[in-house]
Copies of this chain bind each other. A is one copy, B any other.
Amino acid sequence: MMNYDKGKGELQNWLVTEIDFDTRFQGKCETIFCQGNGYMGMRTATEERYINQVRDTFVAGTFNKFDNNDVTELPNAADISNIDILIDGKLFGLDKGSYTDYHRTLNLKTGEVTRAFKWKNEEGKAFQFSFKRFISFDNLHLMAAEIEIKALTHSAKIRFDSGINGQMSNSGAQHFHEGEKRIFDKKYVQMLQQTTQSEITFIHNTAHSVTLEGTVVSSRFEMDRRKVFMIYSSDVEVNQTIRIEKISNVYTTRDKELESLSLEKLREYSIEQLKSACKSGYNTLHNLSAKVWAEKWKAIDIKIESNNDFNQLAIRFVQYHLLIMTPAHDNRMGIGAKGFSGEGYKGHSFWDTELFMLPFFTYTQPQIARSLLEYRYNTIKGARKKAMENGYKGAMFPWESAWADDGEVTPVWGAVDINTGKSTKIWSGFIEQHITSDISFAVWQYYQVTGDEDFMNNYGYEILLDTGIFWASRLQWNKDKKQYHINEVVGPDEYKEHVNNDAFTNYTAYWCIENAIHYYHLLKVEKPGIFNRLDNLLKLKNEIQELEKKLPLIYLPQPNDNNIIPQDDTYLSLTEIDLHKYKNQEHVGSLFLDYSLSEVNLIQVSKQASVVMLMYLIEHKFSPEVKKANYNYYEARTLHDSSLSLSTHSILANDLDNRDLSYSLYRQATSIDLGLNMKSSDHGIHAASLGGIWQIIVCGFGGIRMVGGRLRIEPKLPKEITQITFPIYWKGNLLEIEVNHELLKVKNNGTETVTFSNGEKSFELKRGMEMKI
């Protein structure tokens, strides 16, 4: 069972607490208590082992390809989280004996996970256990853990087996060559391993300090293949406490800031770092990390006053996870679709980043948003190669992206239809092409919100222009209709494969070309230096004619007599079935218990927001009537089988004044990971959904939108929420925004005047000033 402990005082609404332990539901807290710092992350499997645990540690950007049948993925690194505890020679586990006063808590404020309980073994000996662990945000390579066990009723022999275990794999795929093992000073354990194809060496170090009432407990070691463990054992008398502190770090030869070091030097450096960390000890190290967390929270914290404290906790949970999963330290790395919380999606970046998570960074931590977009820029060579290989021009971004050099990494073959024995082809890597628009849009959105000219000059314009060039080359001339079409795609609704003129794809492609033309002319006049460089690179002068000639001839699906924009050429003519059963499903994907994917392709049913997503993205292109009609039409046909769907629908419902539906969809979105379904998070966190929740709060309820390059603040709170206070940056100016049912308060803490609209009116807010509307 989960509980949302409101906490007390400073910790009110900062704690997520598990109040009972059930081995069946380990996946839940492994995922939602995941710890990390963007450099690395770890599922929070318990220190002791249980059947069906999933113990994963990932270091961002260290992609490796197991073999030619596989695509590159983030390898599951050596584990340091397991500490076996033996009481009188028997492995401790909560599934044996009995326990009381159990709780396990993730502290969102500091990133620490704690756990405590009283446990009685089968012989009736009682012990008080307490655990702590964190991954440092102060030193990105550092993790630490502490266990204390107090003998309450009897003396006992207590033993800890702990070290580095490199026998881990990604569900059987072993990404590492075994490397050297070493112990320095009988304390500092080092193990190396190297990825088999990308040849990245990982250096794992760990050291323990085990004390019984302050007296050092001595150790011996045991070595196995890919494994070094230290063994500490001591008799513990009644009322005595034995304590183990385990401090560990990991470095890799992919680390940007240490690139210049030889492997030998890096090994030495890493051990020196560990020694110095050990001198500080758990508490000091934790305080240093907590300090960095405090700074981060100061910049992003959102206050929500509502009829339910859960709302406050939920937005913090969202922001906690968005922070720990994002490799803000290195612009060669993107966000994995499950962060570091599971092997799912192999650590690859999807459109999830640009359309769901990026707005959080763009509006609150523009330097991180910039790093993430620079990552996309770093993949542009692969995007050009992909375009060329497909007979197109410009930049055709990979549907799934890993290391920049890897290019398209979407698996070609998916789940085997094990009845026919044939693998299902995954079409997304070939024809889910809107990712290119999504990236282009995110670049433009970032630019409009931040005004970061430096980014645009170095990376942004190139992306905007080259994605326009791609789309122009992608268009297909329809002789009969005398229009440019885009055929054979998968749109955001992945239940419709091989469709023609997917509305989302056509509209955003149009947008890309139009935007490219706009910046072509702008650069030519205003930034001739940059224009010339890009012209040189992209042959802009040749391309512009093509873009300008084709743009007005692109077919943009128009609203029909009922104001419905057809999702694609055939959607509106497909069979309609009673979706009631599936709309009320307990588990996502229930449709497939009754229909195969090829059958689903022929039904008016959608996995997720598609036309609705379009109306959120380019909202000023559609009238309120059209939005309403389409929302009602498509919402009724959308199963939200993708976790990306609910947030968009929630925001649009709010836009259309259906506040109850909006709030209900928002609550559904928050319960995907933080709800009472104990199995929904087994494979990892729903990262894009978290980004979507942030958008519901800030862009939906809070009403923050960039529309056509301008800031609009038009809050609409659901009745359940009394007030929201949050910070955003607009063109580098920090705005503090407070929204309640009576008024909107905006304070400009920046250095320049900020202009924004609200309703029909436009406002200018000078620096240092506050305005109530």
B96 touches A171 (CB 8 A): no
Asked if A11 is at the interface of the complex by the 8 Å CB criterion, the answer is no
Query: A174: which of B50, B91, B172, B419 is its contact (CB, 8 Å)?
Result: B172
B172 touches A418 (CB 8 A): no
B418 touches A91 (CB 8 A): no
**Taking the nearest CB of chain B, how far is it from the CB of A356, in angstroms?**
26
Given contacts A24-B89, A171-B226, A418-B183, contact A69 B177 (CB under 8 A): yes
Binary contact readout A509-533 vs B (1 if CB under 8 angstroms, 0 otherwise): 0000000000000000000000000
Q: Could you say which of A147-155, A161-169, A438-446, A640-648 contacts chain B?
A: A161-169
Given contacts A224-B171, A225-B173, contact A180 B421 (CB under 8 A): yes
Binary contact readout A201-245 vs B (1 if CB under 8 angstroms, 0 otherwise): 000000000000000000001011111100000000000000000
Asked if A550 is at the interface of the complex by the 8 Å CB criterion, the answer is no
Query: A49: which of B51, B93, B183, B223 is its contact (CB, 8 Å)?
Result: B51
- Which residues of the partner chain B approach A176 to less than 8 Å between Cβ atoms? 172
Asked if A23 is at the interface of the complex by the 8 Å CB criterion, the answer is yes
- Which residues of the partner chain B approach A186 to less than 8 Å between Cβ atoms? 419
A419 touches B183 (CB 8 A): yes
- Which residues of the partner chain B approach A23 to less than 8 Å between Cβ atoms? 91
Q: Is the interface of A mostly helix, strand, loop or mixed?
A: loop
Asked if A3 is at the interface of the complex by the 8 Å CB criterion, the answer is no
Query: A415: which of B166, B196, B223 is its contact (CB, 8 Å)?
Result: B223
Q: CB within 8 Å of B: which of A87-128? A: 89-91, 93, 95-96
Asked if A182 is at the interface of the complex by the 8 Å CB criterion, the answer is yes
A174 touches B171 (CB 8 A): no
B174 touches A173 (CB 8 A): yes
B225 touches A171 (CB 8 A): yes
B24 touches A90 (CB 8 A): yes
- Which residues of the partner chain B approach A227 to less than 8 Å between Cβ atoms? 171-172
A386 and B66 CA atoms in complex are apart in Å by 33
A133 and B89 CA atoms in complex are apart in Å by 31
Given contacts A50-B51, A51-B91, A418-B228, contact A174 B174 (CB under 8 A): yes
A418 touches B95 (CB 8 A): no
B172 touches A166 (CB 8 A): yes
Asked if A752 is at the interface of the complex by the 8 Å CB criterion, the answer is no
- Which residues of the partner chain B approach A221 to less than 8 Å between Cβ atoms? 418
A167 touches B177 (CB 8 A): no
Given contacts A51-B93, A418-B228, contact A171 B167 (CB under 8 A): yes
Q: CB within 8 Å of B: which of A248-279? A: none
B226 touches A416 (CB 8 A): no
**Taking the nearest CB of chain B, how far is it from the CB of A470, in angstroms?**
33
**Taking the nearest CB of chain B, how far is it from the CB of A193, in angstroms?**
9
A423 and B182 CA atoms in complex are apart in Å by 10
**Taking the nearest CB of chain B, how far is it from the CB of A184, in angstroms?**
8
Which residue of the partner chain B has the closest CB to A190? Answer: B421
Asked if A70 is at the interface of the complex by the 8 Å CB criterion, the answer is yes
Which residue of the partner chain B has the closest CB to A53? Answer: B51
Binary contact readout A378-419 vs B (1 if CB under 8 angstroms, 0 otherwise): 000000000000000000000000000000000000011011
Asked if A296 is at the interface of the complex by the 8 Å CB criterion, the answer is no
* Cross-chain pairs A/B with CB under 8 angstroms, 30 sampled: A23-B91, A49-B51, A50-B51, A51-B51, A51-B91, A66-B174, A67-B196, A95-B95, A95-B96, A166-B172, A167-B169, A169-B169, A169-B172, A169-B174, A171-B224, A171-B227, A172-B176, A172-B178, A172-B225, A173-B174, A173-B225, A174-B174, A180-B421, A181-B416, A181-B418, A182-B418, A182-B421, A183-B419, A223-B416, A223-B418
Apart from A169-B174, A171-B224, A183-B419, 8 more pairs, CB < 8 Å: A50-B51, A51-B91, A168-B172, A169-B169, A171-B225, A172-B227, A180-B421, A181-B418
